[in-house]
């Protein structure tokens, strides 16, 4: 068995479902990324527009100068269920995106990459240099995954694997080993399909297969630290963290194979209970899940808006009482909006 085959087998034993190898030479995606930033489609994620970010993403060898191979790895998470009730009045629960229902993938994948690094060192020798990337590292992971043969970048900007769809997380391991590259994935599995574009609640999907984060409900409910723009609040429906809409309608995802994983939080949390969580209880419940990314203020802001979209007037007394004691201006704004919706 070749070294490459042994690495692949080791990665699979750690829970990765697809592994690809490619060279670190710059990929065409850097031009698309720069254009995306120049149009301010990164919204409040200013760190993406820094010169360091742009420079680092231009070539993985800026992360690991000795890099000779980029190993792209894919893991799956449980697919989202039926979301047709997202905007049905009268619901008493919120909705959390599928990927956030299991332990935080940052922690899980970092542990897997650490074990894979140990295996590669054992197989190839102690002088191997490696650099692990999980989501937050400045690398064009979808472009390198496509170059490594793991799928294509879909119309909704996500990597689509022919068997696992986009219910996946990407990770990369940069290594100072020259390994035979896999073939680039050249087929465009989206074809003429426009289902995700039409399904997006806010029209955030752009023609060049990127997302305008300023309109994206995933960005607005998670990364955004300010108020939700008024024009997008009704479109949130009962979403309190993230949005799976463009993935849920994708034909590739409807036939995707995913691994079973134990969910650690509920997909449809009770809105009253969620709104009443103290900061300490919020931390205890969500600290080791992606929901923590929204922070306490963002989560309560989202829950208040979900209440306003519920059509349930029983929420009015709770919201009125909260409006008298709420000190956070972002949450107070969401409460006032929700009361206006429920009182009209």
Verdict on whether the full-model pTM lies above 0.95: no
Residue percentage of the chain with pLDDT more than 70: 97
Q: Which two tokens stand for residue 118?
A: 């140990």
Residue among 299, 314, 292 at smallest CA distance from 105: 292
Give burial (CB, 10 Å; 0-12/13-18/19+) of 337. buried
pLDDT digits (tens, 9 = 90+) for 187-196: 999 999 999 9
Q: Where are the domains of the chain?
A: 3-80+98-175, 202-242+270-343
- Asked whether the beta carbons of 310 and 271 are under 8 A apart, the reply is yes
The hierarchical CATH code for the domain 3-80+98-175 is 3.40.109
pLDDT digits (tens, 9 = 90+) for 116-164: 999 999 999 878 999 999 988 999 999 999 999 999 999 999 999 999 9
* CB neighbour list of residue 265: distance below 8 Å, 6 or more residues apart: 96, 100, 101, 285, 286, 289, 291
pLDDT of residue 258: 78
Active site residues: 135
Which residue matches tokens 């070749």?
2
pLDDT of residue 300: 98
Question: What are the beta bridge partners of residue 171?
Answer: 73
pLDDT of residue 80: 78
SS3 label, residue 159: strand
Residue percentage of the chain with pLDDT more than 90: 90
pLDDT digits (tens, 9 = 90+) for 257-300: 877 778 899 999 999 999 999 999 999 999 999 999 999 999 99
């Amino acid at each position: 068995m070749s070294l490459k085959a042994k690495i692949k087998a080791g990665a699979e034993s750690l829970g990765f479902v697809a592994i690809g190898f490619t060279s670190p030479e710059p990929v065409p995606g850097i031009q698309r990324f720069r254009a995306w930033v120049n149009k301010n489609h990164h919204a409040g994620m200013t760190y993406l527009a820094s010169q360091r970010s742009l420079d680092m993403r231009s070539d993985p060898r800026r992360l690991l100068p000795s890099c000779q191979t980029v190993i792209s790895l894919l893991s799956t998470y449980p697919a989202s269920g039926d979301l047709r009730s997202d905007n049905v009045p009268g619901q008493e629960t919120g909705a959390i995106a599928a990927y956030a229902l299991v332990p935080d993938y940052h922690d899980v994948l970092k542990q897997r990459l650490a074990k894979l690094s140990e295996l590669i060192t054992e197989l190839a020798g102690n002088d191997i240099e490696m650099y692990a990337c999980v989501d937050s590292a400045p690398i064009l992971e979808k472009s390198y995954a496509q170059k490594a043969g793991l799928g294509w970048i879909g119309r909704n900007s996500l990597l689509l694997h022919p068997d696992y769809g986009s219910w996946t997380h990407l990770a990369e391991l940069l290594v100072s080993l020259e390994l035979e590259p896999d073939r680039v994935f050249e087929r465009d599995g989206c074809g003429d399909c426009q289902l995700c574009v039409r399904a997006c609640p806010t029209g955030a999907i752009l023609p060049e297969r990127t997302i305008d984060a300023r309109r994206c409900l995933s960005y607005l409910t998670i990364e955004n630290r300010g108020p939700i723009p008024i024009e997008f609040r009704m479109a949130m429906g009962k979403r309190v963290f993230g949005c799976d809409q463009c993935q849920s309608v994708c034909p590739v995802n409807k036939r995707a194979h995913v691994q079973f994983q134990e969910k650690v939080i509920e997909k449809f949390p009770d809105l009253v209970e969620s709104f009443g969580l103290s900061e300490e209880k919020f931390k205890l419940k969500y600290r080791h899940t992606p929901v923590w990314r929204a922070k306490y203020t963002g989560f309560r802001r989202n829950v208040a808006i979900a209440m306003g979209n519920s059509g349930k007037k029983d929420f009015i007394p709770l919201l009125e009482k909260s409006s008298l004691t709420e000190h956070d201006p972002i949450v107070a704004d969401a409460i006032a909006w929700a009361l206006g919706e429920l009182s009209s």
